[in-house]
């Protein structure tokens, strides 16, 4: 019995064989968007209480059953973590035995990570209906649950529910944006319907913001729609924009465009602008708070509104 191993010896040996990464190194890799798959090997209830940003979850108990599907590339860089560094070392050992070539683990684990004040993602508890509704987003690696969570918590203001606003509002609503603001003083005309798909024949004569709200309420009950059936003015623009994370300018006149741009610059929020003329279109995002110019930097002078082609 002299050379019989104890459980702890196996853990110790695994730890000695796997390249360790510090919390700071992993944080840096996440920030730099270094290509790697970050794998959380803890149990489901630990994962649901919070995890690292961008991590995928393969509980150690299901490791061998799920690795082929979730980690298909045996030469891709993989970083494992658990609560304190033991289970991740053991899982790394398993991966190495399975032929994975680039496996490291984070020492001190999630406990160290959380106590160190690094970014923690709280998984959202989706309802079964939401899981169905956003299932096509969940399967897109570029969106996934983390992306849907961002969309679902996003607050977007759309000024104008006409040719540009209609598709923008419709797709934001379909995607499940958390809060959607719509500003439009105009009413639905039958000549709008050939392109402003959010409105309908039964709503001709109705205010456009109201008509758009009815369409979104019917499309996706997750979205909190707030409407303003009035013109955007220097008096109301700041108060309205303050309730949102960003603004989409879907108007067709220069004076409103400068008004929105100015408010967005003042509040440090992204200003997304689009414009169309026949078969030509422009779309751009201005966000001086994150670097770069604002709309007025590009067009210092506002031309008179009469010059805006409709």
Binding site for Zn ion (CB under 5 A): 294, 296-297
CB of 154 to Zn ion, least distance (A): 25
Phi-psi region of 9 (alpha: psi -120 to 50; beta: other; left: phi over 0): alpha
CB of 272 to Zn ion, least distance (A): 15
CB of 266 to Zn ion, least distance (A): 11
Q: Nearer to Zn ion by C-beta: 197 or 289? A: 289
Q: Nearer to Zn ion by C-beta: 63 or 273? A: 273
Contact 265, 291 (CB under 8 A): no
| C-alpha to C-alpha distance for 58 and 56, rounded to whole angstroms | 7
* Residues recorded for the chain: 310
Q: Nearer to Zn ion by C-beta: 162 or 288? A: 288
Q: Nearer to Zn ion by C-beta: 283 or 297? A: 297
CA atoms within 13 A of residue 218's CA, in its CB half-sphere:
10
| C-alpha to C-alpha distance for 308 and 254, rounded to whole angstroms | 7
Nearest residue to 274 (alpha-carbon basis) of 257, 288, 299: 257
Beta partners for residue 106, in sequence order: 21
| C-alpha to C-alpha distance for 52 and 233, rounded to whole angstroms | 43
CB of 256 to Zn ion, least distance (A): 17
CB of 268 to Zn ion, least distance (A): 13
CB of 155 to Zn ion, least distance (A): 24
Q: Nearer to Zn ion by C-beta: 138 or 258? A: 258
Contact 52, 60 (CB under 8 A): no
- Token pair, residue 129, equals 């209906």
Strand bridging mode 280-286 / 271-277:
antiparallel
Residue closest to Zn ion, measured at CB: 294
Q: Nearer to Zn ion by C-beta: 49 or 298? A: 298
CB of 288 to Zn ion, least distance (A): 6
Tell me the angle at which helices 86-97 and 7-17 cross, rounded to the nearest 10 degrees: 70
Q: Nearer to Zn ion by C-beta: 221 or 292? A: 292
What's 80's DSSP letter?
E
Q: Nearer to Zn ion by C-beta: 206 or 294? A: 294
- Token pair, residue 173, equals 């609503």
| C-alpha to C-alpha distance for 191 and 88, rounded to whole angstroms | 63
CB of 264 to Zn ion, least distance (A): 10
């Amino acid at each position: 019995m002299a050379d019989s191993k104890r459980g702890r010896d196996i853990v110790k040996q695994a730890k000695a064989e796997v390249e360790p990464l510090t919390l700071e190194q992993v944080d840096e890799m996440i920030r730099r968007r270094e290509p790697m798959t970050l794998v959380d090997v803890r149990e489901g209830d630990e994962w649901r209480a919070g995890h690292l940003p961008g991590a995928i979850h393969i509980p150690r108990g299901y490791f061998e059953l799920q690795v082929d599907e979730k980690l298909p590339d045996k030469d891709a860089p993989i970083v494992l973590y658990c609560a304190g560094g033991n289970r991740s070392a053991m899982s790394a050992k398993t991966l190495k035995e399975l032929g994975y070539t680039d496996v490291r683990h984070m020492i001190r684990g999630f406990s160290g990570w959380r106590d160190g004040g690094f970014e923690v993602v709280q998984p959202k508890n989706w309802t079964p209906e939401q899981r169905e509704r956003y299932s096509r987003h969940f399967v897109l690696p570029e969106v996934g649950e983390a992306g849907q969570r961002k969309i679902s918590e996003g607050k977007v203001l759309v000024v104008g529910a006409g040719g540009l606003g209609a598709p923008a509002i419709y797709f934001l609503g379909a995607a499940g944006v958390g809060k959607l603001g719509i500003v439009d003083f105009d009413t639905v005309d039958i000549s709008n319907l050939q392109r402003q798909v959010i409105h309908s024949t039964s709503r001709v004569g109705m205010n456009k913001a109201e008509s758009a709200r009815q369409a979104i309420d019917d499309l996706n009950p997750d979205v909190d729609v707030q409407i303003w059936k009035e013109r955007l003015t220097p008096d109301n623009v700041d108060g309205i924009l303050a309730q949102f994370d960003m603004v989409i300018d879907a108007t067709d006149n220069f004076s409103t465009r400068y008004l929105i741009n100015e408010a967005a610059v003042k509040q440090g929020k992204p200003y997304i602008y689009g414009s169309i003329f026949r078969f030509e279109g422009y779309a751009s995002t201005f966000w001086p708070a994150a670097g770069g110019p604002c709309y007025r930097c590009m067009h210092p002078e506002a031309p008179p509104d009469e010059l805006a082609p409709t």
